[in-house]
Chain A
Amino acid sequence: MRRKKKILKLMALLLVAMSIIASGMNSVTASAETPYLTYTVDGYGRMEETQTGYLAQDTIIKFGKEFLNGANDMCVTDDGKIYIADTGNARILVGTTDGKLVTTFGTGILKRPMGVFVTEEKHVFVADQNAGAVFEFDESGKVLNTYSKPDSPLYGEGIEFKPLKVIVNKAGMMFIVCESNTNGIVEISPAEGGTFLGYFGTNYASVSLQQIIYRAILTDEQRAKMVSNIPSTPDNLAIDSKGLIYTVTRGDEANTVKKLNIAGANMLRAENYGVYDEAPAAVAVGNHDNIYVASREGYIYEYNDQGEPLYVFGAKDDGTQRVGLSSSLTSIQVGADDSIYVLDSDKNQIQVYRPSEFTQKLHTALNLYAQGKYTESREPLSEVLKMNSMFDYANKAMGRAYYQESNYDEAIRYARLSNDKSGYSDAYWEIRNEWLKANIVKALLFIVGLWILYMVLRTLDRKKKIFDGVRKGKAKIKENRFISNFMYSGYFMRHPIDGSYGIAREGRASWSAPSVILVIFMIEYVINKYLCGFLQKTVREGRYDIGSDIGIIVVVIIALTACNYLICTINEGEGTIKKIYTYFCYSLLPYVVLTPINFVLSHVLTNNEQFLVTLVNVIIYAWVLILAILAIKEVNNYTAKETAKIIFLTIFTILIVALLIFIIYVLWAQVFDFISAVFGEVVYRLGY
């Protein structure tokens, strides 16, 4: 979705968009109870509104009489205590989830505490940016250890040690996110007062095509001026009970959230449909291995253990000061009862969100499903679907659950709903298998019957000439010029070189016959696009955009014909517009002939046999291409070298024409805008 967004943006820029960005949902279902909306994503990557997943409940403004000041991190423990890195006050504040003060410590020792982590033994690790160290306190606030910059040469000499966030695993290893350290997460073992173990979970710098081109053509000085392409460092991290480490990295697009195993490899494989944040502030792991991400902008995301998005909710405060809206989130934590705690450094408060009935059911189902208890998960899943039949994650899980129970018809229905292609394929395989088992004999008998019928008819025809009438009629029809031209395309397809000669010299070029082929091509294209088998489908069920499909085909054919003609005429080609139009249209015939096969295949094949469809596709495209190239060569009477040149020039011309049209369009848009401005002013001044 994100990539699509970018393309859209580009287009908007190019076209000098005059419209105002759409505002607002008009939703009848909205309940005014929460000031924010909750969305989920469906199998097509479309955001759908859903029931409120989490309700804003309490807001903790102060602990006892102590207020927060620009706090940057917190840690909620299972016994209901909150440890806060109270950055502005340079201390650690410990409170309870109901707003009572337990203790504060670290004043005088800490300079700028940015991160805090509490181990099971209640040791408090604090990442202090300005002190350049990680402090380890015991529960009472006594400093046990101080870990400052590692002296290992592996750390990198010129690199500063400015810890921002810290987590500690069960073995006592510290994983530290440092400011402006691009090597990755610093891993330090507590042995011997802190031993640097290396960098963990390094992100890789990506190189775009644009950058490659730039590098190739720029001078060294220009290259030096370019923004250096360094990998992004994680912004925050969390650890779960199994010791897996979760990171969020801004700008990493689809890989914004990572779940790293001990080797530092990302374990999230599932499609996240572009549901990721552009400014993630914190990540947390829930009680069902679900992942929560808080955005600095106030949005909160929940993913399942595979990284599939479940919810997005929350919003930035629009100045109306409503409970549940945020200004600048810095930390997120999950309580034992699935409540979410988020820390707002701007509002200096902790907002507690409580899961709704809907979410509680979803979590139950999630749990069972993740454990592989598909059948047990069906009950809570159907509860979830009762409350929201468009909740695609549940639809998908439901389909899988039915599959496990061998209820393939239902499995297929749910898979289709949630666009779960592999689930669909599996279930379809089973259904087809059953059908084959039941009908294979009948089908074979039917084929044999057909063959016998054919043989009988053939023998009869030989002896008694029963089909003479039909043959005569056929010959008569063939005399019709249009029909004859139309049939000629078949000859052209099989014998492109001879066929081209016919177009060039034997008057086989016409307008009507190629146009009919073009129309058939369009019809087949549209049918194949919208009505093909589910697994081959690239568009959403129920979505149609036929106008633009046909428009594109027409424009491409016109551009090809016109530009090819322009180039051929100045290069001593022998083609006329009519001839050129004819051969381009005739070249489409392989598609017209073979696509029906593809169409049928797409309805009966599963993912395992998809290569058949791909094969047919390759044949179609290769054939079409060969026909077009040979026709250009033969009809215009070119050599191979000349043909290559002509093809290149034709493509180039098309680009130039497109550019020209675009420039004219932009200029006209300006003129139009100017005229409408004048008109607007007139209307305004005169009050009409």
Chain B
Amino acid sequence: MVTKKWRKMVALLTAVTVITASVINVTNYVSAAPADSAETVDTAGGADAAATDNANTTDDKKEEGKEEDTQQVGEDGQVVMDGAVGKVDKSKWITIKNYELMAESDTYKLYFYEPRFSIMLENKQTGKIIESTLSDEKDDGDSNAGWNGRMKSGLDISVIKGIQNTLQADVNSTENTMETTKIDNGFSTKIYFTPYQFGFTVNVTIEGSDLVVTIPDNSIIEEQEGTYISSISVFPFLGYSALDDEEGYMLIPDGNGALINLDNKEGRYVTGFSQMIYGSDPGFVESDTKTYLWEELDMLQDASQVIAPVFGMAHTKDQKGYFAIVEKGEKRASIEAQPNGAMVNYNRCYAKFLIRDLFIQPLNNSNTGTMPRAEEDRTHSDLQVRYMLLSGDDVNYSAMATKYREYLLKNNLLTKKDSSYNTRVDFLGTERENFLLGTRAVTMTTTDDIKDIFGELKNNGVESLLSVYKGWQDGGLYDLPMSKYDADSHIGGNSDLEKLIKDSESSGYKMYLYNDALRLNPSTNTFNFNTIKKINKRAFEEKVWADVYKRFNYLTPESSVEDFTSFVESMNKKELNKVAVAGISDTLFSYSYKSSYFTRNDTADAYTKVLADLDEKADMVLESPNAYLWKSADAFLDMPLGSSDYMYVDEEIPFLSMVLKGTMPMYSNYINFEANKQEFFLQMVEAGVYPSFYLTAENSSKLISTNSADLYSTEYTTYKEAVIDYDKQLRELNAKLGDANIIKHEIKDEGIKVITYSNGVKVYVNYTNSQQIVDGVTVEAMSYSYKAGEAE
């Protein structure tokens, strides 16, 4: 052991001397020489120069990077690129006659054309065909050779070469070899790109009306040092349409759900929807180029996170389409939905699997010297997308929601929970503000306060309640992490809290203790070093614009699991078991820790396992849980009710709510902070979501010097009436709905929504400013109404 350590020391020292020299070089030649050696390149500018150099010398047949494509919007909103190739002569068209029938199920025939790695799916009943690549017939000839090749290829791959990741590979413009064999229900193609010396196997099968495309992890080979696959998109043009040729929409999992219509966008949008499933990766985030007002205020709200790995395409008039679920590899994949005008004139949506990425390695603390690097290893996971092909009356998002719910239940990714109605009333216990050399408690709601409030609500007819107690732990809301049941004395201490929880439980008020199992507060836990580092081995810090605690770290999943387990066990000792889980419910990251790298898959696995293991021991409600945690959640807290307001989105729909309604109770974001309360209320009615309030016994102005200064309106007395009123209205409505599922959601005219439940109840929501009559039901302005179902 000793000698080993000694050797390490020597190695370190030698390295230090060697590298000192090179660092001095680097700092000296920052401006003079862009590239010192192939590897030590300093500053972003230098890297770019080197990158272009590489591009010019290595591959002469390479297509241009995206930046070089220039385009113009022509008449009828058609986008025409410079160097457009023109239309394909009719005699040279590749049509279904050139395709080979590879497999068939009861409903579909699967055809394959190897040179383009293209498939066609023929519906046996209707004869309608879904294409996977741009056909020569529909090719408008407006794009350049590079894009043309990509659009007609069933595979679109981005390549990392050295420190450059703008290269593109597809089967038409990149030399490759393919080897196709038939397998059960489909075929398997082994593909190898010769210039880059990498390849993989794609298995395509048809199971009933499901098309399943898989790339097994062990089939991916990369044989050239420094040349890697960055991302793979399989069948990016599946179900595409040109401009406004087809009526219909694309479904994107933005917020609760959103639709992009397949109409002519007239070249207005240069890019479309492109979001990582389960959010962006903090392990890769750099101190970004965000702009701040007065260099301090962040005015931008982040776009909402993709919670479920799904997307869909519906040609409503032609009655064909699909609903796709990214089944494997989704933890490091993005959903892409590009409307026409985004580079080319076709609407398309697909999943893009990220295999390996570049990251920025800073060489010093001032971040003046950096160099891009590729990840050491790729992400290991099978990649699989399941396309549920739709036809007939099923070509709409209501059917997609139903199919997804059935899929989740069948595969045990979701189990039916008690989804009876509760109003959610959360409380903030204590916070901290700076005082003298340390901090002092700002107590907002004690256990006694809560007891009084519960009593008052009970007397006013609020039968049942779900309540999350935040800031109950010793040290206040941001004393994180917590590894045992330890209530702050300012709220009444352990025994009072225990008594409160047990007493209220017996009267139908369920109290959950809030636990952010992800974050560590370095100011309160100075000697805990189980925190993650980014991929570039720099500590990850979440910076917060606040007075008291300005930064938080993320615990390693291992440490989160340990703390959380011991927390639940110590609760069990007091015969308590209700926990509201935050942090680990909606965050995924790659990280490095003690010289090892971990991927998002590792993180997700750790979280999934601990929640599954503790399922018996604790009742857990999760704060906006990602799809892989749904089976462990007794309730979905903070369900988004809108979308991110992308300009290209034409309609917001409550897609996730339609999937989950009736199987898992969903609670909204806090109503306190909504500027338009009535509209928000109607959105809850529309989505079948239960209301949430965040309350304190004291006036929220007491929080002004704490980290929770953004809680500007929480006083109980202000919201008492609203809680009782909302509870009355929504309890009555939901009593009628029971645990029925939503089977249909329709948008009638502008601002009128009709939601049909499986028990026949119909709910009418009117967002307009005038009274409306729908189906003979009168709905007041900015109000809702419902009609009990006819017997089934």
Contact = CB atoms under 8 A, between A and B. Distances in A.
Interface of A: 1-2, 5, 16, 18, 20-37, 39, 42, 47-53, 55-56, 59, 61, 297, 299, 312-316, 318-325, 356-359, 386-391, 417, 540-547, 673-674, 676-688
Contacts of B712: 29, 48-51, 388-391
Contacts, number: 227
Given A23-B298, A318-B290, A32 B644 contact: yes
A680 B293 CA distance: 33
B66 interface: no
Nearest to B22: A681
B358 to A, nearest CB: 15
Contacts of B499: none
B647 A389 contact: no
Contacts of A23: 287-288, 290, 298, 543
B545 A24 contact: yes
B271 A321 contact: yes
Contact of B303 (A56, A320, A547): A320
B644 A320 contact: yes
27 contacts: A18-B366, A23-B287, A29-B710, A32-B644, A32-B669, A34-B645, A36-B299, A51-B712, A59-B647, A312-B293, A315-B300, A320-B303, A357-B675, A359-B675, A387-B672, A389-B712, A390-B701, A542-B705, A543-B547, A544-B434, A544-B435, A547-B437, A676-B364, A676-B365, A680-B365, A682-B15, A687-B537
A682 B705 contact: no
Interface in B648-682: 648, 669-670, 672-678
B54 to A, nearest CB: 22
A534 to B, nearest CB: 15
Contacts of A356: 675-676
A55 B676 contact: yes
Interface string B535-563: 01100001111110010100000000000
A321 B304 contact: no
A673 B545 CA distance: 26
A318 B291 CA distance: 9
A33 B645 contact: yes
B301 A682 contact: no
Nearest to A274: B294
A27 B708 CA distance: 8
B640 interface: yes
Contacts of B367: 20
Given A51-B675, A312-B293, A323 B298 contact: no
Interface in B432-455: 433-437
A547 B16 CA distance: 39
B363 interface: yes
A48 B362 CA distance: 34
B646 A321 contact: yes
Nearest to A61: B268
B645 A51 contact: no
Contacts of A32: 255, 301, 303-304, 640, 642-644, 669
Given A29-B673, A323-B647, A417-B701, 11 more contacts: A5-B294, A18-B365, A31-B642, A36-B301, A39-B297, A48-B710, A52-B675, A321-B648, A389-B718, A546-B436, A682-B16
Nearest to B543: A22
Given A389-B715, A546-B437, A35 B297 contact: no
A544 B20 CA distance: 44
Nearest to A19: B365
A645 to B, nearest CB: 41
A30 B544 contact: no
B711 interface: yes
Contact of A34 (B301, B550, B708): B301
A685 B542 contact: no
Contacts of B672: 29, 387
Interface string B9-41: 001100110011011000100000000000000
B57 to A, nearest CB: 27
A51 B674 contact: yes
A154 to B, nearest CB: 40
A686 B436 CA distance: 44
B49 to A, nearest CB: 22
Contacts of A42: 704
Interface residues of B, number: 85
A679 B537 CA distance: 12
Contacts of B437: 546-547
B718 A386 contact: yes
Contact of B646 (A48, A318, A323, A673): A323
Interface string B711-724: 11101001000000
A77 to B, nearest CB: 23
Given A20-B367, A35-B644, A542 B299 contact: no
A21 B298 CA distance: 12
B713 A543 contact: no
Contacts of A540: 705
Nearest to B292: A21
- B23, B644, B712, most chain A CB atoms within 10 A: B712
Interface of B: 11-12, 15-16, 19-20, 22-23, 27, 255, 268-271, 287-288, 290-301, 303-304, 361-367, 369, 433-437, 536-537, 542-547, 550, 552, 595, 640-648, 669-670, 672-678, 699-701, 704-705, 708-713, 715, 718
A301 B693 CA distance: 30
B295 A5 contact: yes
Contacts of B711: 28-29
Contact of A684 (B294, B537, B640): B537
A678 B675 contact: no
Nearest to A545: B434
Which of B288, B366, B367, B550 has the largest count of A CB atoms less than 10 A from its CB? B366
Contact of A389 (B641, B642, B643, B700): B700
B23 A681 contact: yes
Most buried by B among A20, A42, A321, A386: A321
Contacts of B547: 543
A389 B647 CA distance: 33
Contacts of B675: 51-53, 55, 356-359, 387
A164 B737 CA distance: 62
A243 B288 CA distance: 46
Question: Ordered nearest first, which 9 A-B pairs have the shortest CB separation?
Answer: A677-B364, A356-B675, A315-B299, A51-B675, A542-B705, A20-B287, A29-B673, A52-B675, A390-B712
A322 B644 contact: yes
A542 B700 CA distance: 14
Contact of B713 (A389, A676, A682): A389
Contacts of B20: 678
Nearest to B274: A320
Most A CB atoms within 10 A — which of B19, B20, B544? Answer: B19
B287 A21 contact: yes
Interface centre among B294, B301, B435 (most CB of A within 10 A): B301
B669 A31 contact: yes
Nearest to A319: B271
Contacts of B537: 683-684, 687
Contacts of A51: 673-675, 712
Nearest to A678: B20
B647 A321 contact: yes
Contacts of A687: 537, 595
Nearest to A67: B266
Contacts of B673: 29-31, 51
B13 to A, nearest CB: 9
A31 B547 CA distance: 22
Contact of A686 (B15, B271, B709): B15
A547 B269 CA distance: 54
A541 B701 CA distance: 12
Contacts of A359: 675
Contacts of A677: 23, 27, 363-365, 369
Contacts of B27: 677
B438 to A, nearest CB: 9
Contact of B710 (A2, A34, A49, A673): A49
